């Protein structure tokens, strides 16, 4: 939404109905104010973690807005995200609880904290993906490959562009089956395109090597093709040729695009463990299975599918 307003306002504001441009401007200003509040809270929490010797890397959110779009105001941000070493989870929990947050949700790879008074949510990650979408995560590797970014005179750690691109491709592959608004998913593709545009000197060999080490080459191809197809980004010729050789990644990307631009809205999430919920999750796992080449990962997805099938049969009996 912020990018939509910025571009319409700069290019053809006189051709937009006044009530529409007024609404977009109001949303833009509210988002700018909210992002500033979130950034200040992030700076405070990171300093408090540093004081108790906890290493934390902020990513996504306002850090992403500033590092790839150049301005806090140009990205819609809903929460704050931190990556920590799992050994520091208990101390991180205690700190956030002391700051008025409560634990909203616990998952395999992260915990969500929420504070009612200012409606701020912080997601603390120690893995990048859930068990059903396995990828190895080496916190120290990411920590060693960070740089500093200046946001309004405050310095934050930031992931290297190569690691950030890898994470964004992982995220977009993982999230394409979640019940999200289409505009939010499209914004994730835009993030990949904008990162590549902002960092024309990416070390592509590092990105591809990381993908190969994690059996995530197809996941990277999938994310890059979406960005190329939807936003017409320029990729180095060797990278483009590698992506175009991956017919499975392209087929999966077209599958997602068809859903993204279909006239039907996403239905609400089905009741957990209902027939429709299990059916959706099986389709999700089959999609994930196609994204991986390794027999090891394919077998793990196959067993996850079997678990869902048998759990559904038990419910029926």
Pick the residue with more confidence: 219 or 258?
Answer: 219
Domain range for residue 274?
268-317
The predicted pLDDT at position 309 comes to 63
Domain check: are 53 and 155 in the same one? yes
Domain check: are 173 and 217 in the same one? yes
Domain check: are 165 and 146 in the same one? no
pLDDT digits (tens, 9 = 90+) for 89-136: 999 999 999 999 999 999 889 999 999 999 999 999 999 888 778 788
Closest to 56 measured CA to CA, from 108, 104, 126, 145: 126
CATH number at residue 113: 3.30.460.40
The predicted pLDDT at position 239 comes to 96
Range from 8-17, 99-108, 265-274 that averages highest in pLDDT: 99-108
User: In the beta sheet, which residues pair with residue 83?
Assistant: 57, 125
Q: What percent of the chain has pLDDT over 90?
A: 50
Q: How confident is the model at residue 267 (pLDDT cuts 50, 70, 90)?
A: low
**Per the confidence metrics, is the pTM higher than 0.85?**
yes
Of 266, 285, 301, the residue at which a domain comes to its end is 266
Pick the residue with more confidence: 15 or 164?
Answer: 164
Name the packing angle between helices 204-213 and 161-175 (round to 10°): 50
User: Of all helices (H) and strands (E), which one includes residue 235?
Assistant: none
Q: State mean pLDDT over 260-267.
A: 62
Domain check: are 76 and 44 in the same one? yes
The predicted pLDDT at position 153 comes to 84
Domain check: are 139 and 176 in the same one? no
């Amino acid at each position: 939404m912020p990018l939509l307003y910025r571009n319409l306002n700069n290019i053809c504001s006189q051709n937009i109905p006044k009530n529409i441009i007024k609404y977009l401007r109001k949303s833009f200003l509210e988002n700018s104010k909210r992002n500033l509040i979130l950034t200040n809270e992030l700076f405070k929490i990171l300093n408090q973690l540093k004081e108790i010797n906890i290493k934390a890397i902020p990513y996504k959110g306002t850090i992403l807005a500033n590092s790839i779009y150049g301005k806090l105001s140009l990205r819609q941000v809903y929460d704050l995200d931190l990556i920590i070493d799992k050994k520091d989870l208990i101390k991180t929990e205690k700190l956030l609880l002391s700051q008025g947050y409560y634990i909203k949700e616990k998952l395999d790879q992260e915990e969500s904290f929420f504070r009612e008074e200012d409606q701020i949510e912080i997601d603390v990650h120690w893995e990048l993906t859930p068990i059903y979408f396995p990828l190895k995560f080496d916190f120290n590797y990411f920590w060693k490959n960070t740089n500093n970014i200046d946001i309004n005179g405050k310095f934050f750690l930031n992931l290297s562009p190569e690691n950030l691109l890898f994470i964004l491709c992982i995220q977009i592959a993982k999230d394409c089956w979640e019940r999200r608004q289409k505009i939010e998913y499209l914004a994730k593709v835009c993030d990949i395109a904008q990162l590549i545009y902002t960092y024309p000197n990416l070390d592509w060999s590092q990105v591809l090597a990381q993908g190969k080490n994690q059996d995530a080459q197809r996941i990277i191809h999938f994310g890059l093709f979406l960005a190329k197809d939807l936003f017409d980004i320029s990729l180095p010729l060797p990278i483009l040729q590698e992506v175009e050789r991956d017919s499975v990644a392209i087929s999966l990307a077209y599958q997602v695009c068809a859903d993204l631009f279909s006239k039907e809205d996403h239905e609400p999430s089905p009741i957990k463990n209902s027939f429709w919920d299990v059916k959706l999750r099986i389709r999700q796992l089959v999609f994930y299975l196609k994204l991986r080449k390794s027999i090891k990962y394919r077998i793990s997805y196959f067993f996850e599918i079997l678990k869902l099938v048998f759990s559904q049969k038990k419910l029926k009996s």
